[in-house]
Amino acid sequence: MCLAVPGKVVEIFEENGLKMGHIDYAGAISRACLEYVPEIRLGDYTVVHAGFALSILDEEEAAKSFAAWRELQAAAAREGVDLFGRPLADADADADEQE
Amino acid sequence: MKHLDEYRDPALARKLLAEIAAVTTRPWVIMEICGGHTHAIIRHGIDLLLPRQLELVHGPGCPVCVTPVALIDQALALARRPEVIFTSFGDMLRVPGSRESLARIRARGGDIRTVYSPLEAVNLAVQNPAQEVVFFAVGFETTAPGNALAVQQAARLGLTNFSLLVSHVLVPPAIGALLAAPDNRIQAFLAPGHVCTVEGLQDYEAMAAAHQVPMVPAGFEPVDILAAILLLVRQLEEGRAQVENEYRRSVRPEGNPAARLAVEQVFQVCHRTWRGLGEIPASGLRLRPEFAAFDAQCKFALEETGEMESPQCISGAILRGESKPPQCPAFGKECTPEHPLGATMVSSEGACAAYRHANRQ
C-alpha cells in the first residue's frame, strides 16, 4: 500500500479524463494517477502511494541536504560542529565535570 | 537509483551514528509512527546500532494492523455475497477476522481481487455492470486522496455499482491518544514522511507545542532515519520541542493542497475504533452524506459483529508501543507470517512481520 521508493516519470497520458503516468523504478514500470501533482513533468521523480503520485521530489532541497551533510561531515572534524551546523557537545569535558 | 542510493551511503550513515552517540547524554524514548519506518529500522538494524540509551518504540502506523476485527468481518460478509466483486490492496487479504480471512473466502471461490489503485476498482465496476464492486478503503492520510478521487470518478461516470467499505484513520489523534495515556513513555516522534507530504506540518507543529514533544518528519532510507533521530536527540538534549523537517525533498509545509481538498470534499471526520487502541474521537474519515450512495455500510446495511481476537496475540500492546514483538509468547511459534494470529504479523508494515523477516528474536 505504501511505496516509499521514488520513481521517475517516463510517460504522461490521459485516461478516462484523468492525468496518468508511467513511473520507472529502476527498470520496473508501473502506472500512477498524476492528478495530485498537476505540474509534474517527464523526468521528475515522484513518490507514489496506492496508485497516486503525492509529491514531486524537490531536486534543490535534496541537493541542499546533501551539500550540507557532506560539507559538515568534513567540517565536523575540524570545527566541532554536527551535521546541522550546531556545536557538538564535548562528551569528554562533560564526563570530566561529573567526576 | 537516484534519490535512493545516496541515502544508503554507509559512510554517511556511520558518520550520523557517531554524531548521535556524541550528542546523547541520557536515556530517551522515540516512537516511529509509520510502519514503513519500522520496517526500515529493523531491516537495516538501525535500532541495534544506536547508543544503548536511545530506545525506539514502534507505533500504530500500519493501516492494516489497526483495522478492527469488526470491520474485517464486514469485509468478509460482503466478500461472501455472490453479486459482489470485492477489491482490496493485497495487504488486507490474509488479515484474520473473527473466524477467517478474505484469502480463505477467495480459496473457496469468492470473487476477491487485489488492486494496486482504487481506480482499478472503478474500472472493474465499469466493466461489470451486473455486479457490485466494493473497494476496501483502508489507510491513513496517504491513501485517502486516491480513494476520494475514485469516488469522484465513479460519480462522474454515473456508476451505481461501486462503493467503498471505509476504514480510514488519521495520525494526529492517535499521537494525542498515545501521549494522553497515563503510562506514556514516548518523548519524541519520528513523524510519518508521506502523511506529512499530504497533510503538511501545521497539525504536527500544533502537537509539538501542545505536548512539548519534538517531531521530525523523515524519509525512509537509513540516512534519512539517522538524520531525523539526530535532530530529535538534539532537541531532547536541548529541551526544545519543535517540528524540524528532515524530508524536505518531499514534505512542504503546506502539504499537497490538491490532495487535501479532494479528501475534504468527499470525506468527513468521524470517531474511529483502532485495533489495539480502542475508540479515538475524531480519528477517522467517513464518506460525506452526499456520497452515501458509495458507502458500502449504508448500501448493504452491514451490521456490527462481535470481535474475537486470538487470546494469544498481544498486537494491541505492540501497536501502543508498550511491547516489542519478541515479548509475545506466540511470536515465531504459533504465530508466523505463514500462519498469523494477528494483523501485526500479516501486514507488510506490521512490527511482528518486520522482526520475523529480519530473523530478530
Cα angle B87-B150-B286, degrees, rounded to a multiple of 5? 85
Question: What are B349's three cell numbers?
Answer: 508494515
Grid-cell match 474485517, residue found: B72
Positive or negative: CA dihedral A62, B261, B190, B236: positive
Helix axes B202-211, B171-180, angle to 10 degrees: 10
* Mutate which: B25, B33, B53, B117, vs A, most A CBs within 10 A: B117
Has residue A69 got a pLDDT over 80?
no
Residue B229, pLDDT score: 97
SS3 A85: coil
CA distance B45 to B58: 14
Across the interface, of B35, B139, B197, the residue whose CB is closest to A50 is B139
Contact present, B353 and B360 (Cβ < 8 Å): no
B172/chain A closest Cα distance in angstroms: 18
Has residue A91 got a pLDDT over 50?
no
**Interchain pair A54, B6: CB under 8 A:** no
Mean pLDDT, 10 residues at a time, over chain B (361 residues)? Answer: 72 88 96 93 92 95 88 95 96 88 95 97 98 97 97 98 97 95 94 97 97 96 94 97 95 97 98 90 97 97 74 87 92 89 84 89 71
* Mutate which: A40, A55, A58, vs B, most B CBs within 10 A: A55
Has residue A94 got a pLDDT over 80?
no
Has residue A86 got a pLDDT over 80?
no
**Interchain pair A35, B149: CB under 8 A:** yes
How many pairs of residues across A and B have Cβ atoms under 8 Å apart? 143
**Interchain pair B12, A73: CB under 8 A:** yes
| A75 shares contact with chain B (CB less than 8 Å) | no
**Interchain pair B25, A32: CB under 8 A:** no
A36/chain B closest Cα distance in angstroms: 6
**Interchain pair B117, A1: CB under 8 A:** no
Grid-cell match 570545527, residue found: A79
* Host H or E run for residue B152: helix B144-156
Would you mind telling me the total number of residues written for chain B in this entry?
Answer: 361
User: How does residue A73 score in pLDDT terms, banded at 50, 70 and 90?
Assistant: low
Residue A20 vs residue B1, higher pLDDT = A20
| A19 shares contact with chain B (CB less than 8 Å) | no
**Interchain pair B234, A73: CB under 8 A:** no
In 3D space, the residue among B29, B63, B59 whose CA is nearest the CA of residue B351 turns out to be B59
Residue B30, pLDDT score: 98
Nearest-CA residue of chain A relative to B121? A51
| A98 shares contact with chain B (CB less than 8 Å) | no
Question: What are B159's three cell numbers?
Answer: 456508476
Residue A75, pLDDT score: 54
In 3D space, the residue among B256, B146, B241, B316 whose CA is nearest the CA of residue A3 turns out to be B146
Across the interface, of B143, B153, B231, the residue whose CB is closest to A1 is B143
Contacts of A55 in chain B (CB under 8 A): 197, 250-252, 256
CA distance A20 to B27: 48
Q: Which domains does chain A have, with CATH numbers?
A: 6-57 (2.30.30.140)
Contact present, B27 and B55 (Cβ < 8 Å): yes
**Interchain pair A54, B262: CB under 8 A:** no
| A71 shares contact with chain B (CB less than 8 Å) | no
SS3 A22: strand
**Interchain pair B3, A18: CB under 8 A:** no
Contact present, B249 and A57 (Cβ < 8 Å): yes
Nearest-CA residue of chain A relative to B35? A2
Contact present, A9 and A41 (Cβ < 8 Å): yes
Task: Tell me the one-letter amino acid at A47.
Answer: V
Residue A2, pLDDT score: 54
B283/chain A closest Cα distance in angstroms: 20
Nearest-CA residue of chain B relative to A24? B1
**For residue range A33-61, what is the model confidence (pLDDT) as tens digits?**
999 999 999 999 999 999 999 999 987 87
User: How does residue A90 score in pLDDT terms, banded at 50, 70 and 90?
Assistant: very low
Question: What are B52's three cell numbers?
Answer: 544503548
Across the interface, of A4, A51, A94, the residue whose CB is closest to B119 is A51
Q: C-alpha distances in angstroms, B100 versus A12, B79, B115, B333, B340?
A: 42, 12, 21, 20, 11
Q: What are phi and psi of B54, to 5 degrees?
A: -95, 125
CA distance B239 to B190: 17
Contacts of B159 in chain A (CB under 8 A): none
Grid-cell match 575540524, residue found: A78
Burial call A6-31: b when 16+ CB within 10 Å, e when fewer: bbbbeeeeeeeebbbbebbeeeeeeb
Question: What are A6's three cell numbers?
Answer: 521514488
Q: What are phi and psi of B260, to 5 degrees?
A: -65, -40
B339/chain A closest Cα distance in angstroms: 21
Residue B245, pLDDT score: 95
**Interchain pair B262, A36: CB under 8 A:** yes
**Interchain pair A45, B2: CB under 8 A:** yes
Write the burial class of residue A38 (CB in 10 Å: 0-12 exposed, 13-18 middle, 19+ buried): exposed
